[in-house]
Amino acid sequence: MLRLMPSLTLGAWRIHTLETGFLWLDGGAMFGSVPKPLWSRTNPADERNRIRLAMRCLLLEGEGRRVLVDDGAGDKLSPKLADIYGIEHHEHTLEGSLGSLGLGVEDVTDVLLTHLHFDHAGGSTRREASGALAPRLPRARYYLQRKNWENAVAPNPRERASYMPENFQPLMDAGVLTLWEGERSPWPGLEVFTADGHTRGQQLVRVSGREGTLYFVADLIPTASHVRIPYVMGYDVAAIETMEEKRALLRRATAEGAWICLEHDPSVALARPVAEGDDFGWGERIAATSGVPAEREPIPGRAGPAAPRRA
Ligand SMILES: [Zn+2]
């Protein structure tokens, strides 16, 4: 069955949300100090206390580039780890979602990695028949913050399980990884900026044009439920920093009427934040798979009509 994923156009950029699969992580770890009776209403846990999470990426087409933002968990996990993390690829894979746009992995020119945790960057490499590891996007250059690289190659004990060298060392060995320091605008209408509360050197993406603005916020706001300022993951290295970074981002996005792409929400791909007292909630939301062609279901509001789908 052809899965239809929301897309929109902002300035020079055609933006496609790209499902790459699901994983299941401990609900308590995902919600930190928030009690289970609260988070389990919106994110029900399975018998192993895990909740279902998407691994949603972006494909940005514009300025002569096809830029992938994050690349999911990939397919290198051992059967034991794939079971622990509940990796699901029966509905979606990176290759399948690119294929639904008429594209293959060789068409991606650039990969922006928010950070090297396995559920964001595991799809960066693949194991060849010989057993050797190679870049999975064979013609792409990859970009990461230097601070996150340094964190990943010498991880602290809390994050060690999430930074798996097979996902990133082959990129450096192949000479395709560029390390950035701080915020920058690699192409017109596209900016990256950092948020360090989840992990050191996480970079987030802002795309803007005359029709509006979109943020890809990775693990700063992993699911729709995490829009509330105190909803901070137990995984984060610095909860207070996350809350400050989240408030600043939501203030800015609310003032801009911006869309936020939620990387891990199992059902909501895009949503617009709204102020609710001294906290935040959501206004319009766009489901991850709409089931009807995007041109017959335009994304409403300031972002303008959705870009027509190619496949
Ligand atoms: Zn992470």
- Centroid of ligand 1 to alpha carbon of 120 (angstroms): 7
User: How high is the mean pLDDT of the chain?
Assistant: 92
- Centroid of ligand 1 to alpha carbon of 162 (angstroms): 8
Pairwise pLDDT comparison (182 vs 307), residue with the higher score = 182
DSSP reduced 3-state for 291: coil
The pLDDT value given to residue 122 = 98
Instruction: Over range 73-97, report the average pLDDT.
Output: 96
- Centroid of ligand 1 to alpha carbon of 121 (angstroms): 9
Residues 50, 303: contact at Cβ < 8 Å? no
Instruction: Over range 185-190, report the average pLDDT.
Output: 98
Q: What are phi and psi of 183, to 5 degrees?
A: -75, 155
pTM of the model: 0.91
- Centroid of ligand 1 to alpha carbon of 260 (angstroms): 17
What is the full DSSP assignment across 98-138? HHHTT--GGG--EEE-S---HHHHGGGEEE-TTS-EEESST
CA-closest candidate to residue 115, choices 29, 216, 43, 206: 216
Look at the block and give the residue holding tokens 């017109």.
188
- Centroid of ligand 1 to alpha carbon of 296 (angstroms): 35
- Reported as a single tens digit per residue, the pLDDT across 103-141 is 999 999 999 999 999 999 999 999 999 999 999 999 999
CA-closest candidate to residue 46, choices 32, 31, 27: 27
The pLDDT value given to residue 290 = 57
- Centroid of ligand 1 to alpha carbon of 53 (angstroms): 12
With 60 as the cut, is the pLDDT of residue 153 above it?
yes
With 50 as the cut, is the pLDDT of residue 148 above it?
yes
- Centroid of ligand 1 to alpha carbon of 300 (angstroms): 31
- Centroid of ligand 1 to alpha carbon of 219 (angstroms): 5
Burial (Cβ within 10 Å: 0-12, 13-18, ≥19) of residue 282: middle
